[in-house]
Amino acid sequence: MPEQSLYERLGGTYGIAGAVDVLVDRLFANAAVNANPAVHEHHGVAANAPGYKFLVTAWSIEAAGGPKCYIGDDMIKAHDDLAIDRAGFDAVFTEIDATLNFLGVPDAERQEFMDIIESYRGQVVQAA
Ligand code: HEM
């Protein structure tokens, strides 16, 4: 039997949307993530949460090998005006990892997803 995609092993659209629902609430409340004023301008507004959850869910579905459904900007353009530095990226990386752990995602799937996140560091970090 062929190995299931990461998308399938994460529980498909329902599993990923459920995880992003929890993740985005935690990111919006995370002081280290919001220390960047440009990030806080977005993440400090509760009304941004539903649309952001939609975009991050679709991005994650595609990144994990699920169906094509992401309509947002690429990762360079999406983070162009935010001056995200290494510490800012690490704060988000740590929150994603902690959330997947909190939700009981198995180690192998968590590691595989975190490797995907890490592979975008160079596109997201645009400040020294
Ligand atoms: C690999 C890691 C990351 C992924 C997969 C990711 C994913 C996304 C996605 C899908 C969007 C929506 C793009 C659109 O509007 O079309 C977005 C926007 C955004 N991201 Fe990220 N992101 C990452 C890292 C970060 C980090 C490290 C920060 C902050 C420290 C951050 C802060 C933001 C903010 C504030 C926006 C909204 C920008 C705006 O519309 O004004 N992201 N991100």
CB of 100 sitting under 6 A from ligand 1: no
Residue 59 resides in a domain: yes
Residue 72 resides in a domain: yes
Here the tokens at position 74 are 């690429």
pLDDT tens digits for range 72-112? 999 999 999 999 999 999 999 999 999 999 999 999 999 99
pLDDT tens digits for range 24-74? 999 999 999 999 999 999 999 999 999 999 999 999 999 999 999 999 999
Look at the chain and report how many structural domains it folds into.
1
Q: Which sign, positive or negative, has the C-alpha torsion 30, 119, 54, 101?
A: negative
Residue 42 resides in a domain: yes
Atom of ligand 1 nearest to the CA of 124: 24
Entry pTM: 0.97
CB of 55 sitting under 6 A from ligand 1: yes
Mutate to test the pocket of ligand 1, among 86, 92, 116, 121 (most ligand atoms within 8 A of CB): 92
Residue nearest to atom 26 of ligand 1 (CA): 89
Residue 1 resides in a domain: no
Task: Note down the domain range covering 40.
Answer: 6-124
